[in-house]
Amino acid sequence: MTNETILFVDDEVNVLQSMKRQLRKRFTVLTSESGADALALLKKQGPVAVIVSDMRMPGMDGIQLLSQVKDLYPDTVRIMLTGNADQETAIEAVNTGRIFRFLTKPCAMSVLVSSLALALRQYRLVIAEQQLLNETLKGSIKVLSELLSIANSAAFSSGYRIKMTVNSIAEKMDLPHLWQYEIAALMSGIGCITLPVEILQKLNAGVNLTEEEEDTFTRHPVTGANLLSHIPRLEKVALMVKNQLKRYDEYESGELAELPEEAQIGAQILKAVIDHDLLLHQGIHPREALTRLKKKSGVYNPRVLEFLATMKVQTEKTKIISVKFHDIISGMIAEDDVFAKNGTLIIPKGQEITWPVIQGLSNFVKHIGIREPIRVRIAIPEPAQDLSE
């Protein structure tokens, strides 16, 4: 289906046939004979650009249908077609379904075509604005995360590692607003900036935390969520980050069960991918890491694990080289912790070296100095491993 499809809903088959016949050369048209059929079609094929519904239909009327479409597919532009006898329902239709146009039957074809053209224009404006906002927001968050990775590399290295996996799983699960899951992955460790580096180092090395350290660590998602909640449009992302440590069976009742569905599944994806990534970081084989997660009943969403099992983990043949600062380029991986001459940790082992990281290193070189040479890994990709094998 194209992004600019128009869906007509009417219980009169001859009306639908007439619409399709007269409009097919100008627009991509679909039809449904009832509100229930229309919702089933949208669920199967995805949202359309414009929906035009008759008011009087058996079962679900036009107001009820367009109200549900507004909630389920808010970007779809909604038009109501009705007879003169239904004029008293116009106010209710506009208020309940936020109708873009209210047209009376019989409707002149020129008026209908003009209204559809305006509706498509409105749809394009909404989508363009949404894409601009999303890309601007994603770009801003990416810059923020890279800058924060300089300030606390240990806290942010995992966000880069899990971003692609989280995004791929969300895409495979056909979840809307994929940008939310990508940002949640990048920002999943933002609360860790308040943690002692020693706790993160022990965690990454697979060393058991003390009870006090464990208590300190488990508070980082709430800290991160509080920081993100102040950024417009990141309310659901903040909820994903806040609940990233929660077990799957905790969502069966109580406060977690009341969360928006996107926030629930986002947090559950983070839980599985972060724990899997931590095991990989500790040197566990990908398939063994997945097996360990599956053995923990009630901890992870089984569906998420199914999709995680279909992911291909890229194995790498690496060449380790020692370089001076001026030889470092983006894409290299730190083989060892990189320290300033005063002992400050600048880049943790395993961190990808990005342009902002290089800029941070440059400042250390200029004002404090760094310990050289620096050992880095240059990755040479090999065939990916399927976790399901």
Q: How does pLDDT run across 98-151, given as a tens digit for each residue?
A: 788 888 888 899 999 999 999 999 999 988 877 777 777 777 777 777 666 666
Is residue 152 pLDDT above 70, yes or no? no
DSSP, res 83: E
> What percent of the chain stands above pLDDT 70?
87
CB atoms within 10 A of CB 352: 17
Give 44 or 137, the one with higher predicted confidence: 44
From residue 280, alpha-carbon distances to 123, 254, 273, 313, 334 in Å are 44, 33, 10, 10, 16
CB atoms within 10 A of CB 11: 16
Which residues belong to CATH 1.10.3210.10 in the chain? 152-313
CB 218 within 8 A of CB 245: yes
DSSP letters spanning 184-206: HHHTTTGGGGGS-HHHHHHHHHT
Is residue 1 pLDDT above 50, yes or no? no
* Phi, psi dihedrals of residue 377, rounded to the nearest 5°: -105, 135
Give 313 or 12, the one with higher predicted confidence: 12
Which pair of structure tokens corresponds to residue 320?
A: 């380790």
CB 99 within 8 A of CB 93: yes
For the ranges 168-177, 214-223, 331-340, the maximum mean pLDDT occurs at 214-223
Q: What is the mean pLDDT of residues 73-77?
A: 91
In this structure, CATH architecture of domain 5-126: 3-Layer(aba) Sandwich (3.40)
The pLDDT score that the predictor gives to residue 30 is 94
- Nearest CA to 38 out of 4, 61, 17 is that of 61
Q: If pLDDT is split at 50, 70 and 90, which confidence band does 372 have?
A: very high
Compute the C-alpha angle 337/342/345, nearest 5°: 25
Is residue 63 pLDDT above 90, yes or no? no
The pLDDT score that the predictor gives to residue 151 is 63
CB 116 within 8 A of CB 27: yes
Give 149 or 369, the one with higher predicted confidence: 369
Is residue 92 pLDDT above 70, yes or no? no
- C-alpha–C-alpha distance, residues 21 and 287, integer Å: 55
For the ranges 130-144, 296-310, 322-336, the maximum mean pLDDT occurs at 296-310
What's the predicted TM-score (pTM) here?
A: 0.62
CATH class of 152-313: mainly alpha
CB 287 within 8 A of CB 337: no
Q: If pLDDT is split at 50, 70 and 90, which confidence band does 215 have?
A: very high
Is residue 217 pLDDT above 60, yes or no? yes
Is residue 388 pLDDT above 60, yes or no? no
Label residue 85 left, alpha or beta by phi (over 0 means left) and psi (-120 to 50 means alpha).
Answer: alpha
> Cβ contacts of residue 136 below 8 Å, gap of 6+?
none
The pLDDT score that the predictor gives to residue 355 is 80
Which residues belong to CATH 3.40.50.2300 in the chain? 5-126
The pLDDT score that the predictor gives to residue 35 is 93
Helix (H) or strand (E) holding 385: strand 385-386
pLDDT in tens, 254-292: 899 999 999 999 999 999 999 998 898 788 888 899 999
The mean of the pLDDT values for the chain is: 86
